[in-house]
């Protein structure tokens, strides 16, 4: 059921009377074309003065021209003058003009004034209801928008395609998809499902709720598709991390003749970032350049992110430097790119530049990138200094759980496991699973069994379904030679029916992604791959390499452990890359 929710009590600002002239009756009725000419040329103030002079002779066409120009210019004061003039001259406002007032006040972010006009209307039509629902929805009042939709149905007013498309945007949050499904049933009953606006809003609602299969069903059922509906489904896949599906659908729709806009390309680049598919990304970038799209900052940010995740930091920086009006997302995309590649010096230099520009203020993502980059790049002292500056409130961003997690990760990398454990105990907030998992990983690397067991047991309480925690704790115990304790953890894992998804590595060659799992035997060139791994092992051993057998956590002899190491997914992917690319590439 859609829950009934009270309207919020808005503070309604009074409508002042800015008319400075006394209303007079003109000898001739106003010419509507005069107002339209003045308004179309942007002379709103002159048109408002003309309205004052016309007084009681003002008519529908004049008011309509004035309100339309006020909406276009978002001129709330001008709109209030028109509204006041209609009231003072006792002009009987038709539903249409009252609805235009609602639209105006909404555009000018005066939701209280819009609600007052709506409440005072003696009669309303479907456009009026839709305008007010849209006002609530655009301002983030989703429950109020849904409640108003229910009142509309009870009033006997039949919704149209724009009403449904509007109210579906309010189906968000915990109960959003439940409300959306109820509205979907009304759409089916009233046969609005094939309409392009309704269909696009439906699939967008399902995609944002994580119900991508329902979104795809709606998409496939559309009798015609436009760039909005195509972009919505591609974006839905990309936002859920279904990158390959997003990319396949994009190419399929392109073959069908789909036109793309900057939002489409930004969604595709998000998918390519997840796949680190450099060649595909360059193709999409080239397509963007050929279509001569305007330099939307959203699209430029997506390109910076894509090239960064593909390891092409030079391309990323070139695009970043050419962004004329950088947003905090632009800075963050470049900082995260440097951070993920351990380029601590570049992170610090760029962060200092951001602070010096003053125009854009750092946010919590900025500090996450800086802390993580310094941690991965060996600048631990600088990271701790930045964190202390956050605590002191230097940039107005207080540390949150993720920032504390970066410090724990940093201390863990430095081998200061006990210090990290004490840091967690003194935190002003409760540690989450990610933070404790980071410390458990550090305990595994530095073989700190005591802290590891304490943290591991806590994690098993918080996340009993997370297979990774069982595996790391078991591996830590096995590394310390405590085989019986390790087996106990593995048996507990089986008892709770927890299964670990195998890790995988992949490499892109000739625009094809080749994926490998540990001990993989499914690749068509598997024999060549394993032969290359063995060849490389012999070569690097001659240079002094000794395999770390402690990471093979099976109670078997040394020779068998070395064989197990040969099947690591990353080794297989690299070996395939070496045999499948031209020499020297």
Q: Residue 408 and residue 286: Cα distance in Å, rounded?
A: 42
pLDDT, tens digit (0-9, with 9 covering 90-100), for 378-393: 888 899 999 999 998 8
DSSP summary character for residue 549:
G
Provide the pLDDT for residue 118: 95
Average pLDDT over residues 148-160: 94
Burial of 469 (0-12, 13-18, 19+ CB in 10 A): buried
pLDDT bin (cut points 50, 70, 90) of residue 30 is: low
pLDDT, tens digit (0-9, with 9 covering 90-100), for 527-567: 888 888 888 888 887 888 766 655 554 444 445 555 555 66
Least confident of 15-24, 134-143, 348-357, 511-520: 15-24
* pLDDT at 15 exceeding the cut of 80: no
* pLDDT at 156 exceeding the cut of 90: yes
Q: Which two tokens stand for residue 253?
A: 């729709």
pLDDT, tens digit (0-9, with 9 covering 90-100), for 419-467: 999 999 999 989 999 999 999 999 988 889 999 999 999 998 888 888 8
Residues 6+ apart with CB under 8 A from 38: 44, 46, 47, 50
At residue 47, what are phi and psi to the nearest 5 degrees? -65, -35
pLDDT, tens digit (0-9, with 9 covering 90-100), for 168-188: 999 887 677 889 999 999 999
pTM: 0.69
Average pLDDT over residues 38-64: 82
* pLDDT at 370 exceeding the cut of 60: yes
Provide the pLDDT for residue 19: 38
Helix or strand or coil: residue 507?
strand
Average pLDDT over residues 46-62: 84
Average pLDDT along the chain: 84
* pLDDT at 127 exceeding the cut of 70: yes
pLDDT, tens digit (0-9, with 9 covering 90-100), for 454-500: 999 999 888 888 888 888 888 888 888 888 888 888 888 887 777 77
- Is residue 79 within 8 A of residue 18, CB to CB? The reply is no
Pairing relation of β-strands 504-509 and 512-517?
antiparallel
Q: State the residue for tokens 């598709």.
A: 225
- Is residue 351 within 8 A of residue 337, CB to CB? The reply is no
* pLDDT at 12 exceeding the cut of 70: no
Provide the pLDDT for residue 2: 45
Burial of 378 (0-12, 13-18, 19+ CB in 10 A): middle
Residues 6+ apart with CB under 8 A from 288: 262, 265, 299, 303
Top-ranked range on mean pLDDT: pick from 20-29, 44-53, 196-205, 530-539: 196-205
- Is residue 333 within 8 A of residue 360, CB to CB? The reply is no
Provide the pLDDT for residue 10: 42
Q: Which two tokens stand for residue 210?
A: 């994580």
Q: Residue 153 and residue 35: Cα distance in Å, rounded?
A: 38
pLDDT bin (cut points 50, 70, 90) of residue 52 is: confident
Average pLDDT over residues 230-235: 90
Least confident of 65-69, 255-259, 431-435, 515-519: 515-519
pLDDT bin (cut points 50, 70, 90) of residue 28 is: very low
Provide the pLDDT for residue 402: 93
Q: Residue 486 and residue 501: Cα distance in Å, rounded?
A: 19
Least confident of 64-78, 80-94, 420-434, 504-518: 504-518
Q: Residue 334 and residue 313: Cα distance in Å, rounded?
A: 9
Say which residue, 222 or 20, is predicted with more confidence.
222
- CA 120, distance to chain mean position in Å, is 39
* pLDDT at 58 exceeding the cut of 70: yes
- Is residue 348 within 8 A of residue 318, CB to CB? The reply is no
Provide the pLDDT for residue 504: 81
Provide the pLDDT for residue 5: 42
Provide the pLDDT for residue 287: 84
* pLDDT at 417 exceeding the cut of 60: yes
Provide the pLDDT for residue 498: 73
């Amino acid at each position: 059921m859609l829950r009934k929710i009270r309207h919020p009590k808005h503070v309604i600002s009074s409508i002042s009377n800015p008319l400075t002239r006394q209303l007079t009756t003109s000898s001739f009725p106003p010419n509507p074309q005069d107002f339209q000419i003045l308004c179309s040329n942007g002379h709103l103030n002159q048109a408002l003065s003309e309205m004052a002079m016309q007084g009681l002779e003002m008519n529908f066409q004049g008011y309509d021209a004035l309100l339309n120009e006020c909406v276009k210019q978002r001129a709330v004061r001008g709109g209030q003058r028109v509204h006041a003039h209609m009231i003072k001259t006792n002009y009987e406002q038709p539903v249409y003009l009252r609805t235009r007032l609602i639209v105006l006040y909404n555009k000018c972010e005066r939701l209280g004034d819009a609600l007052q006009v709506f409440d005072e209307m003696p009669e309303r039509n479907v456009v009026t209801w839709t305008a007010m629902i849209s006002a609530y929805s655009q301002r983030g009042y989703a429950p109020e928008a849904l409640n108003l939709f229910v009142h509309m149905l009870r009033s006997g007013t039949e919704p149209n395609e724009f009403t449904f498309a509007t109210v579906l945007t309010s189906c968000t949050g915990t109960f959003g998809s439940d409300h959306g499904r109820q509205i979907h049933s009304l759409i089916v009953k009233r046969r609005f499902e094939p309409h392009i606006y309704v269909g696009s809003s439906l699939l967008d609602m399902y995609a944002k709720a994580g119900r991508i299969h329902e979104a795809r069903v709606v998409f496939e059922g559309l009798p015609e598709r436009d760039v909005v509906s195509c972009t919505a489904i591609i974006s839905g896949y990309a936002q859920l991390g279904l990158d390959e599906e997003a990319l396949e659908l994009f190419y399929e729709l392109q073959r069908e003749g789909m036109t793309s806009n900057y939002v489409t390309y930004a969604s595709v680049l998000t998918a390519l970032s997840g796949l680190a598919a450099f060649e595909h990304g360059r193709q999409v970038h080239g397509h963007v350049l050929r279509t001569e799209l305007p330099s939307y900052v959203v699209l430029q940010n997506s390109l910076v992110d894509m090239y960064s995740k593909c390891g092409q930091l030079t391309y990323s920086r070139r695009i970043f430097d050419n962004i004329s009006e950088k947003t905090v997302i632009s800075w963050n995309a470049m900082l995260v790119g440097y951070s993920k590649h351990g380029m601590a010096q570049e992170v610090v230099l760029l962060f200092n530049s951001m602070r010096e520009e003053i125009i854009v203020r750092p946010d919590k993502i900025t500090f996450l990138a800086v802390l993580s980059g310094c941690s991965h790049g060996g600048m631990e002292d600088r990271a701790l200094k930045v964190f202390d500056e956050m605590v002191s409130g230097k940039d107005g961003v207080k540390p949150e759980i993720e920032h504390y997690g970066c410090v724990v990760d940093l201390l863990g990398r430095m081998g200061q496991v006990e210090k990290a454990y004490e840091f967690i105990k003194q935190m002003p907030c409760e540690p989450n699973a990610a933070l404790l998992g980071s410390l458990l990983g550090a305990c595994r690397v530095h073989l700190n069994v005591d802290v590891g067991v304490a943290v591991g047991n806590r994690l098993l309480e918080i996340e009993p379904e997370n297979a990774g925690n069982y595996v790391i704790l078991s591996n830590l115990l096995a590394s310390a030679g405590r085989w019986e304790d390790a087996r106990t953890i593995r048996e507990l894992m089986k008892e709770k029916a927890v299964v670990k998804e195998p890790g995988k590595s992949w490499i892109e060659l000739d625009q094809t992604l080749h994926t490998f799992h540990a001990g993989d035997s499914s690749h068509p060139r598997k024999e060549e791959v394993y032969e290359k791994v063995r060849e490389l092992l012999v070569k690097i051993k001659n240079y002094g390499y000794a395999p770390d057998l402690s990471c093979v956590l099976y109670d078997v002899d040394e020779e068998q452990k070395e064989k197990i190491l040969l099947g690591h997914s990353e080794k297989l992917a690299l070996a395939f890359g070496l045999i499948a690319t031209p020499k020297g590439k």
